[in-house]
Structure 1
Amino acid sequence: MDELPIGRRVAYWRGRRKLSQQVFADRLGKSKSWVDKVERGVRRLDKFSVLYEIAYILEVDVQLLLGKDPERRADALNCIDQVEVQEIRAALERYDSMSAYFDAAPFPPPLMDMRKAVNHAWLTYQYGRYGMLTRALPKLLRDAQAADAGHDGDHSREAAHLLGQVYQIASSVLRKLGECDLAWLAADRSMAVAQRADDPLLAGIATTRVCNAMVAMGRPRPALELNLTIANRLAPGGDNDSDPGRLSVYGLLLLQGAMAAARLGDSATVDDLINGAHEAALQLGSDQNHYWTSFGPTNVELHRAAAAVELGDGGRAVEVHRQRIAEPMFNTLLPERRAHHLLDLARGFAQIGDVANAGEMLLRGDRLAPSEIRCRPIAHEVMSDVLRRTRGAPPSLIAELAEHMGVGV
């Protein structure tokens, strides 16, 4: 398909998504005639902003529309650029709900469309496609804000719930890419919206996003305290049920509290919180994805290893990986979780001086979810360490990955 003109590629993917020209045009805010001319090559498609919007609606990487392989791009330095940062910032600075309080609400996007878009955004995140996600975020934020401002009555809670999820998605990917201030802003917004959605579990997950951003900004102690406060309120038992959603949210709060405690060097609290999360995971029975948490027994062990790395005990992290994480269960996790763990392992191996295995973990993570390795500042630090401590020339695969990452050999 690489040899096809771009308009033909658009037509191909539109057909794959079972969208008529009229429906596709409506979602783009264009006329059916405009779509027809683009697909026939009569009208040029040369604006990247329009290309990104088309890719978002068709649920494909924009590179596919350009006839390129999205997995082989040397685009580490373009995982998120300053133009995209400013577009996301502008979207986060909108106050549609307040404007609607004084004026007539805008025509809201249909909630069915929003549900599909939010679901796709979560999957894009959990498959580690951060560049694709950051390009789609500005429009998704605007649409979710318009839906929240424009729907009332029985639909208002669902609209708020969807907006809260979009803020959480934005916070998670922005934190990974090093935009910590914006990650905190998005997470803080998600907590406020979760209260309007009247969903304590959504508020619990929003708490973990806020606390992750706080830890990234060098504020682990208030992050630990907030995680524990909300975990205690949501804990199963008493008046609280023990359904899978509650167990997952409660367990994730404990795990994120453990990570904050690890940043403080408090190993005793780390052990207590991870063991508490382990008990919740055993009640759950298996790794699941309620509230997009990926919580379960295997994910608990991934956090046990990650906390060991934060505590500076790389040997313990490697031991946890080898002795406590069953490979078949690990392989059932989503790519972001697995690649994140391999990055933690790379850090652990580097801490014990095993730069060969550290490099191998980076390569394995890159094969799973390239953006998790190529786009994250912490991965660049590990690669720099591997290159600096490798005797002689680095292996060719490591050198190639370093080049893709923009890390000098």
Structure 2
Amino acid sequence: MDELPIGRRVAYWRGRRKMSQQVFADRLGKSKSWVDKIERGVRRLDKFSVLYEIADILELDVQLLVGKDPERRSDALNCIDQVEVDQIRAALERYDALSAYFDAVPCPPLIGDMRKAVNHAWLTFQYGRYGMLTRALPKLLRDAQAADAAYGDDDQGREAAHLLGQVYQISSSVLRKLGECELAWLAADRAMAVSQRAGDHLLAGIATTRVANALLAMGRSRPALELNVRIANRLAPGGSNDESPERLSVYGLLLLQGAMAAARTGDSATVDDLLDGAQEAANRLGGDHNHYWTCFGPTNLKLHRAAAAVEMGDGGRAVETHLSIEMPAFNALLPERRAHHMLDLARGYAQIGDVTSAGEMLLKGARLAPSEIRCRPIAHEVMSDILRRTRGTPASPIAELAEQMGVGI
């Protein structure tokens, strides 16, 4: 199979799926003549977006379609490769809604199926399984875009827009963690636009935090701070706004993300003001919850206090804040949140010169959510610092983790 031209491979797999050229063409939205020319090699097949659509229809890995063996890597060790980045970029570059203006989308995904897929994607992210998520995202993006394009301006249409907005947010969050900041910004910007069509101010509020986080990752701290605070003020509970747990959670997270941006600028007074505002919202909420996938509450607020201290170079304060956290509440948080906090603590310990404790935090984080430590560029920086400052040979667990991360000793 590897030596066959790509058109012949398409014909082979189409035959294996017992699909006629006409049926295949209809599902792809192309003419039978187009399919015939592709399979005979008269026409080139070199667009990523079309390759992935064909792979979806034929229900096979895109690597098989292009004549390569699909990689079977453990998700614990898998981060993201250029093929996956290109697949996600191709999915983000689609404009199904514009195409649907001219032609109806054939066989759009069912809303119920999309809802289940999006919920699964959120759990995959919040459990820190980034390799699994990045492999699933291209198809999920295409399906969500197709559903959004297919359904009208009724309740189903608004839910389709809501689901697409969520998929864009998931994409933005995982891309930012893996260092693909420009794509993370693009996905977050799309999320904000779609959220407005979904008619959900709180969804738009959470999308705001994704945009701001992408800006922060690109070094644009001041715009990130201003954006978070401006939308938080508009969504603040009270007055004409309700005081629902969902609103308190979204409002609180906007303040927390604003505090992180302010910490990056070194503005300690603004950091304290925003954290105090978030503390009030957390107290009114009364416990940690995952409304709108925020994981917002008193415990997550302490995690952000520690993270803000690290951003301002005060590792000692970050460690003190950690020691004040109630462990049962901390252990009840989702793995991504806990592992992220371990990474922040590792940075804090490194700031105060305790590289042994810093290494222990990385190890704890890797046990909670391996990809959060092994795949994030900031974790690689911390590990490099630990290895550089360790006298003699590092402990075997640290050396093993460094090897898994691809960080040289």
Same fold, judged at TM 0.5 (above) = yes
Contact 1:380 1:405 in 2 (8 A): yes
- SS at structure 1 position matched to 2:120: helix
- C-alpha distance in 2, partners of 1:367/1:161? 34
Q: Which amino acid aligns with 1:273?
A: L
1:236 and 1:384, CA in 2 relative to 1: closer, same or farther beyond 3 A?
same
What's the offset of the Cα at 1:257?
0.3
What's the offset of the Cα at 1:52?
5.9
Q: Which amino acid aligns with 1:239?
A: S
Q: Deviations over 1:109-160 (max 9, x none)?
A: 0000000000000000000000000000000000000000001132100000
1:399 alignment partner in structure 2: 399
- SS at structure 1 position matched to 2:213: helix
- C-alpha distance in 2, partners of 1:225/1:188? 16
1:202-217 matched pairs, under 5 angstroms: 202-217=203-218
Contact 2:75 2:131 in 1 (8 A): no
Contact 2:299 2:329 in 1 (8 A): yes
Q: Which amino acid aligns with 1:310?
A: E
Q: Deviations over 1:173-193 (max 9, x none)?
A: 000000000000000000000
- C-alpha distance in 2, partners of 1:396/1:187? 40
1:26 alignment partner in structure 2: none
1:270 alignment partner in structure 2: 271
1:383 aligns with 2:383: yes
What's the offset of the Cα at 1:70?
4.6
2:128 alignment partner in structure 1: 128
- C-alpha distance in 2, partners of 1:50/1:305? 46
Contact 2:232 2:255 in 1 (8 A): yes
1:286 and 1:86, CA in 2 relative to 1: closer, same or farther beyond 3 A?
same
Q: Deviations over 1:167-215 (max 9, x none)?
A: 0000000000000000000000000000000000000000000000000
What's the offset of the Cα at 1:104?
2.1
1:24 alignment partner in structure 2: none
- C-alpha distance in 2, partners of 1:168/1:256? 15
- C-alpha distance in 2, partners of 1:123/1:282? 26
Contact 1:100 1:106 in 2 (8 A): no
What's the offset of the Cα at 1:51?
6.3
What's the offset of the Cα at 1:103?
2.1
- C-alpha distance in 2, partners of 1:80/1:250? 32
- C-alpha distance in 1, partners of 2:18/2:124? 28
Contact 1:171 1:184 in 2 (8 A): yes
Corresponding pairs, count: 350
1:299 alignment partner in structure 2: 300
2:163 alignment partner in structure 1: 162
1:233 aligns with 2:219: no
What's the offset of the Cα at 1:31?
6.7
What's the offset of the Cα at 1:69?
6.0
What's the offset of the Cα at 1:108?
1.1
What's the offset of the Cα at 1:374?
0.2
What's the offset of the Cα at 1:101?
1.3
2:33 alignment partner in structure 1: none
Contact 1:107 1:146 in 2 (8 A): no
1:335-354 matched pairs, under 5 angstroms: 335-354=335-354
- C-alpha distance in 2, partners of 1:204/1:261? 18
1:100 aligns with 2:100: yes
1:273-284 matched pairs, under 5 angstroms: 273-284=274-285
1:237 and 1:87, CA in 2 relative to 1: closer, same or farther beyond 3 A?
same
What's the offset of the Cα at 1:50?
5.5
1:337-376 matched pairs, under 5 angstroms: 337-376=337-376
- C-alpha distance in 2, partners of 1:236/1:160? 25
1:50 and 1:362, CA in 2 relative to 1: closer, same or farther beyond 3 A?
farther
1:17 alignment partner in structure 2: none
- SS at structure 2 position matched to 1:229: helix
Q: Deviations over 1:21-75 (max 9, x none)?
A: xxxxxxxx9579xxxxxxxxxxxxxx9996669xxxxxxxx99xx6x8654xxx3
1:143 alignment partner in structure 2: 143
1:309 and 1:101, CA in 2 relative to 1: closer, same or farther beyond 3 A?
same
1:231 and 1:126, CA in 2 relative to 1: closer, same or farther beyond 3 A?
same
- SS at structure 1 position matched to 2:179: coil
Identity rate, percent: 77
Contact 1:52 1:136 in 2 (8 A): no
Contact 1:52 1:135 in 2 (8 A): no
1:288 alignment partner in structure 2: 289
2:88 alignment partner in structure 1: 88
- SS at structure 2 position matched to 1:242: coil
What's the offset of the Cα at 1:106?
3.3
- C-alpha distance in 2, partners of 1:206/1:30? 40
1:222 and 1:388, CA in 2 relative to 1: closer, same or farther beyond 3 A?
same
- C-alpha distance in 2, partners of 1:163/1:273? 30
User: RMSD value over aligned CA atoms?
Assistant: 1.9
- C-alpha distance in 2, partners of 1:295/1:408? 37
- C-alpha distance in 1, partners of 2:18/2:399? 48
- SS at structure 2 position matched to 1:288: coil
- C-alpha distance in 2, partners of 1:365/1:341? 8
- SS at structure 1 position matched to 2:88: helix
TM-score by length of 2: 0.83
- C-alpha distance in 1, partners of 2:105/2:137? 22
- C-alpha distance in 2, partners of 1:184/1:263? 18
